[in-house]
A and B are shown apart, each in its own frame.
Chain A
Amino acid sequence: MTQQLLNAIFIGSIYALFAVGYTLVFGVLDVLNLAHSAVFMLGAVITYSLVALHGTPFILAALVAVLACGLLGLLIEFVALRPLRRRNAPPISALISTIGLALIFVAVVEQATPGTLFSWLWQDGANSVRFPVGAVPNPTYHIGGLTLEGTKLGILATSIVLMLVLGFVIRYTQVGRALRAVAENRRAATLLGIEVDRIFASTLFVSSALGGLAGLLFGLALSDISPYIGRDQVELKGLAVIVLGGMGSIPGAVVGGYLLGLIEVLAFVRFGSNVEAGVAFAALFLMLVIRPQGLFGARLKERL
């Protein structure tokens, strides 16, 4: 049971890291970025291809992948979000254009086999792969009957440190203040001399970098890297997490991530793996019906 709880914490920190990026974009831009899960997947895929196909050391590969995912975030902003914002399109339009980008990202990876256009990025088509043994240093500790793997401890440390840094930046720095101002009232922020478009672009960059990092950590922890990990494993669960915590709330996303990890492990222990899969969505549905603003959500424009 204690081992299960530990697993809940590991998977919970990945959910939290993914959901923080998700909810950051929602909080600042009022847009649900459904391409976030595709960026998550590309974070894992790029790291894998650098390590396994190009022989890069893991840490360097991870840094490059996170940076690349941040740039993909800029791509999302310029292709799918900015043209719609210029037109004052309803938020639903951005939902649809980001779905379009997600379809493209997933299909490109899924179709990449040796000899195709994208074989430098991915060669396994729709199959699932794992990092080659020994590519990632993984010391294992045994403490009182518990198995602690080095990679998982690293995941925990990385995600907690990053979330603290993000919290600090948003609360105490000039950029963070500008970000909160834009989230609060876009027009007033513009009048006060904040370059709103730049804030949006940097939000997308940070959010996607975090999403890519979550993806590569997921691939590391669960030994599962495929074109579908974003779509099948975290896209909708990430939604559940940010709804549980309150849409747009960063502390909410962190708490929601760990909460979902815990709920899933408990459901698994109690009822088995079939129920585990559905429990996130039951929680999502109930939360929206009973308390749509979530645990930490404060402002809700579109509720009643």
Chain B
Amino acid sequence: MDFFIQLFTDPIGFYNSHELLIAQIGVNAILAISLFVTFYSGQLTLANAGFMAVGAYTTVIMSLYLPLPLPIDILAGSLLAAAVGFLVGLPVLRLRGIFLAIATIGFVEALRLGVILNLPITGEGQGLKNPTADPLGGIVPIVISLPLIAYLVWRLTHSKLGHAWAAIREDELAASSNGINVALYKMIAFVIGALLAGYAGALETHINFFVDPTEYSVTRAIQILTFAVAGGTTNVVGPIVGAFFLTSLPEIIRQASAYRDVVNGVILILVIIFRPQGIVAGGGLAIHRPRWWPESWRFRGRPASVN
């Protein structure tokens, strides 16, 4: 409880005492947004952890071997992640639903176990030390980029592009018969997602002194999915709230932090059963009433209509 009291009564003190937590929340929020973009267009991909790895490793390797300013390294990392996203998207985006999710899981693990652990330049299984890491300085770009990215993505979802994505998500066949180039718009969402994930990966290397290959496994990808789903995927605020809530959970419940994964799992199940649209979404505070729940235990508001 102290956590929230300090957050609302003493924001500056909160910022100073939780800098690393805030940076991690920021990175996770950007990652959750990167998943949200593809989710918004109806694609469930778990490839974000892989794109993150591309961004992170590119940035650190460039700052190790090339005398360039850091922003250029980060930019290069993000762009390379987007390029990899394009190449992966070409074959993979023909798949749908669960098959797409599985194929992207295959991509993430093949990249990590097959490529990263076998190349000398990535330090193989040892990971890489980041000489330019600056945990305190690294927070500033994160805190600045998160609202910027959120705003841009919010604008995107309300543009012609966003409407096309929503149309594809609701009914692909109907969208394509209305003249929407489904393959193109799916690819755009996938590449933007890859770009954002690569950017988040690059930013994260700057607050850690170390790039650790185990960070970029499917476990991470599932964590990102958790942020987005728990927060809600109907608008861009949802993933941010999800990332904030779940990342700071161990801080909020200090005494139970050993059982963090139990709490995470319980939250996930409760959200998907009782509030499928996520914490932040339409329907106000409405809660879905499962059929086995006695009708006499009334909930406030009407059941949400979203799924």
Question: Range of interface residues on chain A?
Answer: 35 or more
| Interface-side segment among A61-69, A91-99, A151-159 | A91-99
Q: Of all chain B residues, which has the CB nearest A277? A: B113
A230 to B20 Cα, complex, angstroms: 32
Chain A residues within CB distance 8 Å of chain B: 32, 79-80, 83-84, 86-93, 95-97, 99-104, 106-108, 110-111, 231, 236, 239-240, 243, 247, 274-275, 277-282, 284-285, 288-289, 292, 300, 302-304
Chain B residues within CB distance 8 Å of chain A: 44, 91-92, 94-99, 101-103, 105-110, 112-115, 117-118, 124-125, 218-219, 222, 225-226, 229, 258-262, 264-269, 272-273, 276, 288, 290-292, 307
B contact residues around A278 at 8 Å (CB): 109-110, 112-115, 117-118
A-B complex: 5 closest residue pairs judged by Cβ atoms: A278-B114, A100-B268, A107-B261, A278-B113, A103-B265
From B102, B225, B264, B292, name the one whose CB has the most chain A CB atoms within 10 angstroms: B102
Q: Which of B91, B92, B109, B261 lies in contact with A106, CB distance below 8 A?
A: B261
A83 to B44 Cα, complex, angstroms: 22
| Pairwise interchain contact A104-B97, C-beta atoms closer than 8 A | no
Instruction: Tell me the minimal C-beta distance from B278 to chain A in angstroms.
Output: 11
B contact residues around A274 at 8 Å (CB): 113, 117-118, 124-125
On whether A79 and B269 interact (CB within 8 A), knowing A89-B307, A282-B106, the answer reads yes
Instruction: Tell me the minimal C-beta distance from A280 to chain B in angstroms.
Output: 8
A90 to B169 Cα, complex, angstroms: 12
| Pairwise interchain contact A302-B290, C-beta atoms closer than 8 A | no
| Pairwise interchain contact B96-A303, C-beta atoms closer than 8 A | yes
B contact residues around A240 at 8 Å (CB): 106
A contact residues around B94 at 8 Å (CB): 289, 303-304
| Pairwise interchain contact A95-B98, C-beta atoms closer than 8 A | yes
B contact residues around A106 at 8 Å (CB): 261
B contact residues around A93 at 8 Å (CB): 272, 276, 307
On whether A96 and B225 interact (CB within 8 A), knowing A32-B98, A240-B106, A292-B95, the answer reads yes
A contact residues around B108 at 8 Å (CB): 281
Q: Of all chain A residues, which has the CB nearest B274? A: A83
Question: By DSSP majority rule, is chain B's interface helix, strand, loop, or mixed?
Answer: helix
Q: Of all chain A residues, which has the CB nearest B91? A: A289
Q: Which of B265, B272, B292 lies in contact with A84, CB distance below 8 A?
A: B272
A contact residues around B261 at 8 Å (CB): 103-104, 106-107, 110
Q: Of all chain A residues, which has the CB nearest B218? A: A236
| Pairwise interchain contact A285-B97, C-beta atoms closer than 8 A | no
Instruction: Tell me the minimal C-beta distance from A98 to chain B in angstroms.
Output: 9
On whether A282 and B110 interact (CB within 8 A), knowing A103-B262, A104-B262, the answer reads yes
9 A-B residue pairings within 8 Å (CB atoms): A107-B260, A239-B102, A274-B124, A275-B118, A282-B106, A284-B105, A288-B103, A289-B103, A300-B99
| Pairwise interchain contact B97-A236, C-beta atoms closer than 8 A | no
Instruction: Tell me the minimal C-beta distance from B171 to chain A in angstroms.
Output: 13
Q: Of all chain B residues, which has the CB nearest A240? A: B106
A contact residues around B264 at 8 Å (CB): 100, 103
Q: Which of A87, A99, A111, A281 lies in contact with B259, CB distance below 8 A?
A: A111
Q: Of all chain B residues, which has the CB nearest A108? A: B262
Instruction: Tell me the minimal C-beta distance from B272 to chain A in angstroms.
Output: 5
Q: Which of B99, B114, B268, B273 lies in contact with A103, CB distance below 8 A?
A: B268
A273 to B229 Cα, complex, angstroms: 36
12 more A-B residue pairs beyond the given contacts A110-B261, A247-B99, A278-B112, with a C-beta to C-beta distance below 8 A: A87-B276, A87-B288, A87-B307, A97-B269, A100-B264, A103-B261, A104-B261, A243-B102, A277-B117, A278-B114, A281-B114, A284-B110
B contact residues around A96 at 8 Å (CB): 225-226, 229, 268, 272
A contact residues around B291 at 8 Å (CB): 83, 86
| Pairwise interchain contact A92-B102, C-beta atoms closer than 8 A | no
B contact residues around A86 at 8 Å (CB): 290-292
Q: Which of B106, B107, B124, B272 lies in contact with A97, CB distance below 8 A?
A: B272
B contact residues around A92 at 8 Å (CB): 44, 97-98, 101
Instruction: Tell me the minimal C-beta distance from B197 to chain A in angstroms.
Output: 18
Instruction: Tell me the minimal C-beta distance from B302 to chain A in angstroms.
Output: 15
On whether A285 and B266 interact (CB within 8 A), knowing A275-B114, A278-B113, the answer reads no
A93 to B307 Cα, complex, angstroms: 10
| Pairwise interchain contact B106-A104, C-beta atoms closer than 8 A | no
| Pairwise interchain contact A100-B259, C-beta atoms closer than 8 A | no
| Pairwise interchain contact A104-B266, C-beta atoms closer than 8 A | yes
Instruction: Tell me the minimal C-beta distance from A289 to chain B in angstroms.
Output: 4
